[in-house]
Amino acid sequence: MRGVTVFALVGRSGTGKSFRAKLVAQKFGIDMIIDDGLVIRDQKIIAGRSAKREKVYLTAIKTALFTNESHCKEVRHTLDKEKFKRILILGTSEKMVRKITHRLKLPSPSKVINIEEIASKEDIETAILSRKNEGKHVIPVPTIEIHRNYPQFVYDSVKVLLKRGVTLLPKKEKVFEKTVVQPEFGRKGRVTISESALTQMVLHCVDEYDDTIAIHKVTVTQEPRGYYLSLNIHVPFGVQLSGTIHALRDYIIESLEHYGGIHIRKVDIKVDKLH
């Protein structure tokens, strides 16, 4: 992978990263995109499998992070064969992108682009609302590509015209088609989950976010309008508590709602011990 430049597009779940991935690729002359377990080139899926086809949270997040060895080997083999200089990786955080680059033996990101740099606050809020209310996700390839690979969960398609004179857009006008899907874990209907399974998800989230933070106790309370979680944690001495713990809380909520299809009303975190 010598000479390969890695770009990262990061933002919370449902903020429109996949929708704007091709725009970023055009702007910076990027050859390939990695998004939720898929490798995309020239609007075609050339390797991987989509996390959006998974039915449960844990499998979906593992697919996005390439933790399955056969999945990871397939993608690494494709990257070894392909000739490319620049690649864009989408993730909910820079840490997630770095985990992906490590698994795929790619260089660390040399440029990190936050979704707020290329999308307005109103656009991001609209995207989040669509994700929460309708369970809609975007895959940045034409519908025919998704029909070929995953015909069962195509919801709709949308064509985006990139015009001249708009920030971050290329000089020439181009039309890109994107596919709107409704994954199994995002379909409408009543979803219930056991306290044990939800606790496992929380443990996984905390480990993904920062493996130096230890969970001492998790309390799950189901309410009519969602789940309430209470966490007791042990944190290494020297960690900036205010920013880190608030960010951890947000990461847990976003991950559980995104991959689990459940509504989290509140997450309280109590630091029991510094170690």
pLDDT tens-digit map of 90-115: 999 999 999 999 999 999 999 999 99
Q: pTM surpassing 0.75?
A: no
How confident is the prediction for the chain on average, in pLDDT?
79
Q: Which of the four pLDDT bands, split at 50, 70 and 90, describes residue 167?
A: very low
Please indicate whether residue 198 or residue 158 has the higher confidence score (pLDDT): 198
Structure tokens at 189: 């209907």
CATH numbers and ranges of domains, the chain = 5-186 (no CATH), 195-274 (3.30.70.1350)
Of 76-80, 156-160, 244-248, the range with the lowest mean pLDDT is 156-160
Residue 117, classed as helix, strand or coil, is helix
- Highest mean pLDDT, choosing among 4-13, 55-64, 154-163: 4-13
* Backbone φ, ψ for residue 70 (5° rounding): -65, -40
For residue 177, pLDDT beyond 70: no
Q: Which of the four pLDDT bands, split at 50, 70 and 90, describes residue 73?
A: very high
Task: Write the secondary structure of 144-173 as one string of H (helix), E (strand) and C (coil).
Answer: HHHHHHCHHHEEEEEEEEECCCCCCCCCCC
For residue 193, pLDDT beyond 60: yes
